[in-house]
Amino acid sequence: MPHPISPEQEAARGAARLIGRGLKLTHLRLIATLAEVGQLTAAGRAQNLTQPAASRLLAEAETIAGHRLCERHSKGIALTAAGEALARRARAVLAEIAEAGREIGDVAEGRMGAVRLGAVTAPAVELVVPVLQRLQQRYPGLHAQLDVATSDVLVHDLVRGWHDFVIARVPAGSDPRAFEQRGLSREQVALIVREGHPLARLETVSAADLVPYDWVMQPPGSLLRTTVEEAMIARGAPLPNCRLSTASLLVTLALVSRSNAIAPESVEVARLVAGEGGLGRRVTVLPIDFEIEVKPYNLIRMRGQRLSRSAAVVHDALLEAQTG
């Protein structure tokens, strides 16, 4: 009686069939780029191909796959379900190859290597920076690229292969099955204002006290903003009057320090910029009489992805620091 075939064996056989039919990296690059730009001419241009050459390459990929990979419409090209599946795998393959080249270079030159990661602001400040400082004392050759952005941007770039892993939350609309996630911790929120702000003179500040003032917050739909809005509504207050939306901490601090605007930031960031020994002396934390807590963020990587030695060292150190 034949042994059952595991999912890994079936995937390997499927890959072997496509390679046997002539699937090449040029096909994968075109499909991956096409998924990003949605236009064949632009995808071809990104691969230094003329429009006729890109069309021929796409036709070859469809013949090899045995399925229609895209459908043309008035605004460009939309991938079919088969095309989306191939594009997703293509990005993973191309990211692995790029990582292999980087790791081979590191090994050949005797370097510890580089790690590319992203994080939302709070863990970037409170967790990632201290861990990297400790690791770089132990491994002088370790180089890191840290991008700070909102979760939707970070996870999108992770899928594109721009990060080894990110600390964020998988946004709505993304398939959580595509990721391996490890929970870290919840994020407490503080409200910061300029020193001398009228509310800073109060012993405690209620939600009603906040209503007359303008706010500066992250863009609509971001988790931090949504959490603050829900906290205000839960206490019978109207939505904050947000006259400027920005994900930039620098822009936020510039506006807060020059006006009566209120800004929500993680407790860790507030401590960095306004606490004792903080970076600035022009902002302070309001003594609000209620808690604002954002749901936990996670350490996220692509499912099945093998990390380089340097990325694995940082990944594991972040977990240890958070749970230790």
Hey, which residues does 283 pair with through a beta bridge? 194
Number of structural domains found in the chain: 3
- Residue 2, pLDDT > 80, answer no
Domain that holds residue 127: 111-185+297-323
Rounded Cα gap, residues 283 and 194, in angstroms: 4
| Same domain, yes or no: 142 and 210 | no
The answer to whether residue 105 is domain-embedded is no
CA 146, 125, 127 angle in degrees (round to 5)?
Answer: 85
Report the pLDDT averaged over residues 277-304. 83
Whole-model pTM?
Answer: 0.57
Q: In angstroms, how far is the first alpha carbon of the chain from the final one? A: 49
> For position 213, which CATH number holds?
3.40.190.290
| Same domain, yes or no: 247 and 277 | yes
| Same domain, yes or no: 224 and 191 | yes
Q: Which helix (H) or strand (E) holds 178?
A: none
Per residue in 193-220, pLDDT (tens digit) is 998 999 999 999 999 999 999 999 998 8
> For position 20, which CATH number holds?
1.10.10.10
| Same domain, yes or no: 180 and 194 | no
| Same domain, yes or no: 282 and 313 | no
**The pLDDT value given to residue 10:** 47
